[in-house]
Structures are given as C-alpha cells and as structure tokens.
Amino acid sequence: MNVSVFGTGYVGLVQAAVLAEAGHKVFCIDIDEAKIEALKQGQVPIYEPGLEPLVERNLATENLQFTTDAKTGVEHGEIIFIAVGTPPDEDGSADLRHVLTVARTIAEHMSEPKIVINKSTVPVGTADKVQETIRGELDKRGASDLTFNVVSNPEFLKEGSAVADCMRPDRIIVGTDSKEAEEALRLLYAPFNRNHEKIMAMDVRSAELAKYAANCMLATKISFMNEMAEIADLVGADIEQVRQGIGSDPRIGYQFIYAGIGYGGSCFPKDVKALITTAGKLGIAPGILTSVEERNQRQKHYLVDKITARFGEDLSGKTFALWGLAFKPNTDDMREAPSRVLMEQLWARGAKVQAFDPQAMEECQRIYGVRDDLQLCGTKESALAGAEALIIATEWQQFKAIDIKAVTGGLKAPVIFDGRNLYEPKQLARAGIDYYCVGRPH
C-alpha cells in the first residue's frame, strides 16, 4: 500500500521503517530540513537498536523515502499517519498544534479519498477535532465532496525496543466507526498480524483512552512499588523479596514492579499529567493519578535524601560519580530522567559530578553544556576517580556485574547509592561497601 507518515520522531520513523520493511511504499514527511537530509543519507538521528540498518535497507529499495514536501506526501499516501509531537502545554494537557497543522496540510493537498491515522498520543476527542479540521478546510477550498476517515491507532512501542515492538506488536488497536477504514488497516497490518489475531477494532474514543489507560496503569504499578519500597525501608523488609512474592501471582505479574528512583521518558510523565488535566476539566478529581505523579516526583529525590543524610546538606568540595544518565537503558533519551534531578540537586548543594553513560553523554552535553561541576568521563571506571561515592541512576547491562576492586579502588571511600537495586546488599556488605539501595535493608 502507499503510506505517508508525517513526523519523523521515534514513533513516526520506527513505524515508517517497519511498514517499508514489510513491503509497503512509505514516504516520511518532516518540516526539519536538516533531519530529512540526514535521513536521506541513511543517518538516523536517534539511538534505537536495529533502526539504522532498517532505514538503510529500505532506502536502497526505495520502499522508504523522505521529503519535506507536504504535497508529495499527501498525494502519495492512501493511508496517512499523523505522528508528530504533542508536547505538554502550560496546564499539562497535550498541545495539539502540530497535529492540527498536519490535518490542515492534508486537507489542503488531498484530491482523492484518504484514511488519516492518529498515531501520536492525543487526548480523547482529538480524532473528532482532526475530522472537523479537515472537513472545515475542504469546505473552504470548495472540495466538500472529498471523503476521508480519521482512525485512532495508538502505538505501544517502548524506546530501546521500538523496532522489535513494532514488528511484533502484542495488540493493534484500530479505533474507527468505518468498516472500510477498518478493512484498510487490516490490510496495512496484515504482515504483523500473523500467528494470532492482534487487531482490536473499537470505537474511536475507546481507542484514544486505551492508550492513556495503558501508560497510566504501568506508571501506577511503578509508583505503587516505589511506595512499597519506602514502607519496606521503614519496616526492615526487602522490596526485592516482596516483588518476587507478589509477581508470582499471575493477576499481578512480574513486569513493571521494579522499585527505583522514578519513571522518566517522554511518555509516562506527560501522559499521566495529561490525563489528570483531562479528568480535572471533566470535573472529577483523579486521586489515583495525582498520587502516582506525586510519588514519582518524590521518588526522584529518594537518593538525594540518602546522600544528604550521610554527607550533610552542604556538599561543596565533594565530587560524586554518576553511572547512568539516560532515563532507562538502551536509549540516549534524557527527557524527565531521574539522573537530571539527581545532578541538579547535587549541583545546587555545591557538589561536582563525574558522569558516565554508554549512550547519553552527547545528549547530556547538549542539555547542560560545558560546566565546571560536570565532567563527562570516557569509561565507567574513570568516573569513579577520587569521588566520595558512586551513584547509579540507570540499570544499563554493563553496570550489573560489579568489579568490587575497581570500584573500591577508584572511590575515595567505598560508598554506593544504587537507585536501581543492581547488587546483592549482603555481598557488598561483606566487601566492606556501604551500600544504599531502594527498599532493601543495608
């Protein structure tokens, strides 16, 4: 099928590359000329495992093409994805400016029926707004006889495994009242709907809400476990034992019940806040969501509190080693990363930070620039040199096996603050390390 994708961020680019790989003819459209030029050369602007080879391969076959020309994009696609950003505006609700701009662009250039897919995470009711916007523009142009459908088809991919998630989705939600549009999406996704039925057709608003409900449920699981971890701390229980004890109940499950120093990224924080705002506008007080959000804010300060309890409020003249800058492993994304709260709190108290991350150092430099109290180190070992303590903010695989000699040899004194519970407290205690973790006795 001929497909166009507006927006070459995580969602748009991954979806486009995966559809091209499955044999569809895909055009990606973005207003960022530099980005499109780079993509035409096969240079992928984000770190996402498996994405670059996919883009390169499909550029070569011309199943995947890039342009800044919206007209070309609209004319090409019988199916047109809107996958542009929806940043939070001042009150926390999703800003639909970019989505509606694309809707107007589609209306401006279309000359035959189109299926428009909302892929961006958008509040309930957005598909209707897109519908109204396109209809309004067509009327203005005197093209009222042109037909189109707007479908809500939310994505559920995770950064770091976006390509794999997109290739093997566990469900494909298709929100539409039109049988014809549903059939078109069934054809589009047929290559990904092999072993068992994954397509779930539903009404538009349910599809839109399902996306928020999924992310908010996962965020709730995390905040719940973070609260349990604090209780575990105080009663002398071990949250890791508790996790296994409850995860074994299939109604609870093992996933997303790891306590830590809070969830970050571009999705959970934004989506929880957006749904709180939506609920507020509807006149209800979303108590659960509000607590999930508050707990997460608090959790990002969890290690800071332990650090100041040990070293005092004034940290001037002290240097800390920080392993992990990205909000989670396998990405260079630092949006809403707990590491940022940590660094900013340390700096505010006069401390210096020596940081290492396998992927996010450039991103860190981009965000904070060059400053005296931040040193980005080439290896995890060099980050330790002369520091008061090691702080771990991201559970990268390469941090998981600890070289106790290297750590204790590098640091001024053997102290670790671990925000991801990577090590066995007893083993570290035996090695003479003061080990602070989340919700575990030490």
Catalytic residue numbers read: 267
The answer for residues whose C-beta is within 8 angstroms of residue 193's C-beta and 6 or more apart is: 172, 186, 199
With respect to ligand UGA, which residue has the nearer C-beta, 74 or 438? 438
Which structure tokens are listed for 348? Answer: 């505010």
With respect to ligand UGA, which residue has the nearer C-beta, 179 or 251? 251
Residue 119 lies near ligand UGA (rule: CB under 6 A):
no
- From residue 239, give the alpha-carbon distance in Å to each of 55, 202, 234, 245, 246: 42, 39, 11, 9, 10
With respect to ligand UGA, which residue has the nearer C-beta, 6 or 148? 6
Residue 118 lies near ligand UGA (rule: CB under 6 A):
no
Distance CA 128, CA 149 (A): 10
Least distance between ligand UGA and beta carbon 302 (Å) = 11
CA-closest candidate to residue 119, choices 35, 240, 8, 224:
8
157 is in an annotated binding site: yes
211 is in an annotated binding site: yes
Q: Which of 4, 86, 105, 121 binds ligand UGA (CB under 6 A)?
A: 121
Distance CA 364, CA 357 (A): 9
Residue type, 397: Q
Residue type, 82: I
158 is in an annotated binding site: yes
Residue 267 lies near ligand UGA (rule: CB under 6 A):
yes
With respect to ligand UGA, which residue has the nearer C-beta, 159 or 363? 159
Least distance between ligand UGA and beta carbon 175 (Å) = 16
Residue 218 lies near ligand UGA (rule: CB under 6 A):
yes
With respect to ligand UGA, which residue has the nearer C-beta, 192 or 256? 256
CB atoms within 10 A of CB 331: 25
Least distance between ligand UGA and beta carbon 121 (Å) = 6
Q: Which of 28, 222, 289, 407 binds ligand UGA (CB under 6 A)?
A: 222
Residue 153 lies near ligand UGA (rule: CB under 6 A):
no
Interacting positions 159-198 with ligand UGA (CB under 6 A): 159
Taking a C-beta distance cutoff of 8 angstroms, is the pair 63, 40 a contact?
A: no
Interacting positions 241-260 with ligand UGA (CB under 6 A): 256-258, 260
Residues 314-353: x where in contact with ligand UGA by CB under 6 A, - otherwise, as a string: -------------xx-------------------------
Q: Which listed range, 50-58, 74-82, 92-100, 215-223, lies at the site for ligand UGA (CB under 6 A)? A: 215-223
257 is in an annotated binding site: yes
159 is in an annotated binding site: yes
Least distance between ligand UGA and beta carbon 218 (Å) = 6
Which structure tokens are listed for 214? Answer: 């999924």
Residue 224 lies near ligand UGA (rule: CB under 6 A):
no
The answer for residues whose C-beta is within 8 angstroms of residue 52's C-beta and 6 or more apart is: 42, 43, 44
CA-closest candidate to residue 14, choices 186, 193, 156, 214:
156
Q: Which of 157, 274, 387, 415 binds ligand UGA (CB under 6 A)?
A: 157
343 by DSSP, 3-state: which? Answer: helix
With respect to ligand UGA, which residue has the nearer C-beta, 151 or 222? 222
Residue 158 lies near ligand UGA (rule: CB under 6 A):
yes
Q: What is the DSSP letter of 44?
A: -
Q: Which listed range, 89-97, 106-114, 154-162, 202-210, lies at the site for ligand UGA (CB under 6 A)? A: 154-162
* Phi, psi dihedral angles at 176 (to 5 degrees): -160, 155
Least distance between ligand UGA and beta carbon 261 (Å) = 8
| Sign of the torsion formed by the C-alpha atoms of 282, 286, 289 and 295 | positive
With respect to ligand UGA, which residue has the nearer C-beta, 25 or 119? 119
Residue 81 lies near ligand UGA (rule: CB under 6 A):
no
With respect to ligand UGA, which residue has the nearer C-beta, 268 or 435? 268
Taking a C-beta distance cutoff of 8 angstroms, is the pair 292, 269 a contact?
A: no
Residue type, 373: D
259 is in an annotated binding site: yes
Residue list for the binding site for substrate: 156-159, 211, 256-260, 264, 328
Task: Summarize the annotated binding site as residue ranges.
Answer: 30, 35, 86, 121, 156-159, 211, 256-260, 264, 270, 328, 335
Binding site for ligand UGA (CB under 6 A): 121, 155-159, 215, 218, 222, 256-258, 260, 263-265, 267-268, 327-328
Binding residue ranges for NAD(+): 30, 35, 86, 121, 159, 270, 335
